[in-house]
Amino acid sequence: MRFRSRFTIVLASLLGLVLMASPVHAQDDTQPSKDPAVFKAQLLQYTQLTRKNLRDIQALSPDDTAPIDPALKGSAHHAYALIRAAQWGMGVAIQQQTYKDPMLVLAQKRAEQAWNLSRYAVDNTNAPRPEYISQSVQNLTQALRLVQQILVILP
């Protein structure tokens, strides 16, 4: 009986530690919001960060065999998280509307396209350098165009 109560206490303590640690990780992630001001701000941040990432990727040497700089990887991942959160927030806003705003639906579809285009620069850092540079520049440039269109569409 004593063993069971100690086991239960240890298990409860471990569970408490795990539950306390979870919010710390969640704070690092960009959170989606149905608030138009929030997802518009996320899109603006995405635009600024992606322009910087484009410059950094274009500055890479196609002949270099070194891995992609972790700072660039992190920056590309952060931009990806921003567009993902904005797209998701728009989707939630659309679902909660009684009357579907066709402009918001259009903006959300373009954000989804930009989100998918942004994925290449994050997921393919091990691709051959010339291919990575070419494809990332092409995809991120197109993603930026889409986000610029969204920013014009949104109020």
- pLDDT at residue 64 in the model: 86
Q: Residues with Cβ < 8 Å from 120, sequence gap 6 or more?
A: 135, 136, 139
Token pair recorded at residue 40 = 């518009």
Instruction: Give residue-wise pLDDT tens across range 63-98.
Output: 988 889 999 999 999 999 999 999 999 999 999 999
State yes or no: pLDDT of 117 exceeds 80: yes
End-to-end CA distance of the chain: 65
CA distance 117 to 107: 15
Alpha helix stretches (DSSP H) within the chain: 2-28, 36-58, 70-95, 102-123, 129-153
Q: Class of the 31-153 domain?
A: mainly alpha
Q: Are residues 125 and 73 in contact, defined by beta-carbon separation less than 8 angstroms? A: yes
SS3 155: coil
User: Could you tell me the pTM of the whole model?
Assistant: 0.79
Residue owning tokens 């700089």: 69
Q: What is the pLDDT of residue 3?
A: 52
pLDDT level of residue 19 (50, 70, 90 thresholds): very low
Please state the rounded mean pLDDT for residues 135-153. Answer: 97
Tokens 């509307």 belong to 97
Q: What is the pLDDT of residue 22?
A: 38
Residue with tokens 């997802």: 39
pLDDT for 12 beyond 60: no
pLDDT score, position 82: 97
- pLDDT value, residue 44: 97
Give the pLDDT of residue 155: 81
Quickly state the pLDDT bin for 150 (edges 50, 70, 90): very high
Closest to 114 in 3D by CA, of 144, 154, 151: 144
Is the predicted pLDDT of residue 20 greater than 90, yes or no?
no
